[in-house]
Amino acid sequence: MDLNLSLQLSIPELILGISAVLILVFGAFRGDKGMTSVSALCGVALIAAAFAAAFSAFGKGYNGSLVVDGVAVFAKVAIYIAGLFIIVLGQGYFDRLNNRRFEFPILILLATLGMSVMVSAGDLIALYVGLELQSLALYVLAAFRRDDARSSEAGLKYFVLGALSSGLLLYGASLIYGFSGSMNFVEIARYTVANPGVGLIFGLVFLISGLAFKVSAAPFHMWTPDVYEGAPTPVVAFAAGAPKFAAMVLLARVLQTGFEGSEHSWQQVILALSVLSFLVGGLGGLMQKDFKRLLAYSSIANMGYALLAIAAGQSGVAALLLFFVMYMIDTLGLFSAQMALKRNGEPVSRIDQLAGLAKLNMPLTIAITVLALSVLGMPPLSGFWSKYFVFGAAIQGGLWGFAAAGLVASVIAAFYYLRILKLMWFDAPPSDLDAAPAEAKWISYASAAFAFPGVAIFLWLAYDVAQRAAIGFGS
């Protein structure tokens, strides 16, 4: 192992890790009064890490535990920027609750460190350690409002089910190690191609189940609505996007590197998860009355589309990257719009409370409308393009039937977004809203502006980048 090269490849992780420790010491001295400066420092660290990642060399470090390739770099930059927005949202949120705690931005920083280990994991231990670092930080963040019963409940549920899923994942990983004799994905692939067997598939199914829990794909989705409803909104906005992106990239890497050449043994499993997810997400969302629970079901459905991209194999990787960036921005916008809506100091949480929003707050209504139309996949908006790429990849991979099922599911899901639009534009408002907080308002406007027309610039810039990043993935 060349330590110098390994250290160079892990510069983004080094920046995040070292700055997290230093900022923690700084925060411990300043106390909770220093949350603003701690947030600012964490933001600077994330920006620095994003730059370091964007300009980093490609290669493998630490005996193959760390893989830096185009996909890893693309995902890292997206995840770090998402973390930055969440720190801004969280700062305002806890300021207004008068509940400043300097650990919040540091935990976000450590969670992004975990995700960054995940997206460039080259062996089973790095997979597990990264996943655990990310989830442990998120369990704490979900329970962050410890005096709020809902938030504690969310944290506990997330923790118990997450621990169960980690158990499944570890069992699968130990079986794969037991059969193949190696932790490294490349070695595992070499063994699997030479000696296919039921035992390895057994391990693989457990591993996929564990990861499916983390991305909340049906039938492992049951924790999602409760956690989304109870956890603080900035945390949910984070948990709905970046960790799932990291886990999906990880899943794609395990399957396409570790089980390269045995696609037939995992493709059906992923397709089953995918179809179940968009059906459960589409149908489950119809009955929801709470805005955040609705978004939880929407996220389950969207994980189905992402899994479809993974099932499509090599051609789906670029689609996966583009899909997740656009999806993360849409969810960020919707959750910050929800944060911006308050009535008599209480957050607007039920969908029927959105009634008549057009008469109260026109800009936010337009933002929510654009974002909702985007998530349901209306043509010129970003959500349409994300689905377009995924279905395109699926058709290219010969998965016609599944792409058609996905289209049907997205038509079902369209209904509940249309219900929100009808309430906002055509119903009578019950009473006035509080003034919307600036940062939540602007992040949701910015996301809406990204959904259209920003997406055109994004695709013009990022389409080639994503295509190039995906070349050579999985070998």
Partner 1 sequence: MSLMAIAFYLMAACTCVSGLLVVTARNPVHSVLFLILSFFSAAGLFVLLGAEFLAMLLIVVYVGAVAVLFLFVVMMLDVDFNKLRKGFATYLPLGGALAIVILLELIFVNIAVANKGAAAGNLPHYSAAKSNIRMIGEQLYTTYAYLFEMAGFVLLVAMIGAIVLTLRHRTYVKRQDIHAQVTRRRKDAVAVVPAKSGEGIQE
d(Cα 395, Cα 360) in Å, to the nearest integer? Answer: 44
Q: How far is the CB of 435 from partner 1 (least distance, A)?
A: 30
Among 52, 78, 84, 126, binds partner 1 (CB under 8 A): 126
28 or 461: CB nearest partner 1: 28
Q: Does 26 bind partner 1 (CB under 8 A)?
A: no
Q: Count of residues binding partner 1 (CB under 8 A)?
A: 46
Q: Does 339 bind partner 1 (CB under 8 A)?
A: no
Which of these segments, 55-63, 162-170, 285-293, 454-462, binds partner 1 (CB under 8 A)? 55-63
- Our measurement of the distance from residue 71's CA atom to the centroid of its chain's CA atoms, rounded to an integer in Å, reads 15
Interaction mask 66-85, partner 1, x per CB under 8 A: x-------------------
d(Cα 323, Cα 321) in Å, to the nearest integer? Answer: 5
Q: Does 189 bind partner 1 (CB under 8 A)?
A: no
d(Cα 300, Cα 389) in Å, to the nearest integer? Answer: 18
d(Cα 190, Cα 129) in Å, to the nearest integer? Answer: 23
d(Cα 221, Cα 138) in Å, to the nearest integer? Answer: 16
Q: How far is the CB of 49 from partner 1 (least distance, A)?
A: 14
Q: How far is the CB of 92 from partner 1 (least distance, A)?
A: 19
Residues 170, 206 contacting (CB under 8 angstroms): no
Q: What's the full length of the chain, in residues?
A: 475
Closest CA to 434 of 367, 371, 369, 361: 361
Q: How far is the CB of 181 from partner 1 (least distance, A)?
A: 3
Among 33, 96, 146, 289, binds partner 1 (CB under 8 A): 146
DSSP class of residue 220? S
DSSP codes, 161-186: HHHHHHHHHHHHHHHHHHHHS-SBHH
199 or 392: CB nearest partner 1: 199
Which of these segments, 189-197, 230-238, 357-365, 374-382, binds partner 1 (CB under 8 A)? 189-197
Q: Does 201 bind partner 1 (CB under 8 A)?
A: no
Q: How far is the CB of 258 from partner 1 (least distance, A)?
A: 14
17 or 282: CB nearest partner 1: 17
Q: How many CB atoms lie within 10 A of CB 185?
A: 27
d(Cα 192, Cα 259) in Å, to the nearest integer? Answer: 7
Q: Does 137 bind partner 1 (CB under 8 A)?
A: yes
Q: How far is the CB of 166 from partner 1 (least distance, A)?
A: 11
Q: Does 46 bind partner 1 (CB under 8 A)?
A: no
Q: Does 11 bind partner 1 (CB under 8 A)?
A: no
Among 74, 85, 93, 144, binds partner 1 (CB under 8 A): 144
Closest CA to 166 of 129, 200, 137: 129
Interaction mask 93-122, partner 1, x per CB under 8 A: --------x-x--xx--x--xx--x-----
Q: Does 24 bind partner 1 (CB under 8 A)?
A: yes
Q: Does 169 bind partner 1 (CB under 8 A)?
A: no
User: Pairing between strand 342-343 and 346-347?
Assistant: antiparallel
Identify the three-state secondary structure at position 437: coil
164 or 412: CB nearest partner 1: 164
d(Cα 404, Cα 408) in Å, to the nearest integer? Answer: 6
Q: How far is the CB of 177 from partner 1 (least distance, A)?
A: 9
Closest CA to 260 of 187, 171, 181: 187
d(Cα 31, Cα 37) in Å, to the nearest integer? Answer: 11
d(Cα 183, Cα 116) in Å, to the nearest integer? Answer: 19
Q: How many CB atoms lie within 10 A of CB 98?
A: 6
Identify the three-state secondary structure at position 434: coil
Among 136, 207, 249, 295, binds partner 1 (CB under 8 A): 136
Among 97, 160, 167, 197, binds partner 1 (CB under 8 A): 197
Q: Does 323 bind partner 1 (CB under 8 A)?
A: no
Among 143, 173, 204, 310, binds partner 1 (CB under 8 A): 143
Residues 299, 240 contacting (CB under 8 angstroms): yes
Q: Contact residues for partner 1 (CB under 8 A)?
A: 1, 6, 10, 17, 20-21, 24, 61-63, 65-66, 101, 103, 106-107, 110, 113-114, 117, 125-126, 129-130, 132-133, 136-137, 139-140, 143-144, 146, 155, 175, 178-182, 191, 195, 197-199, 202
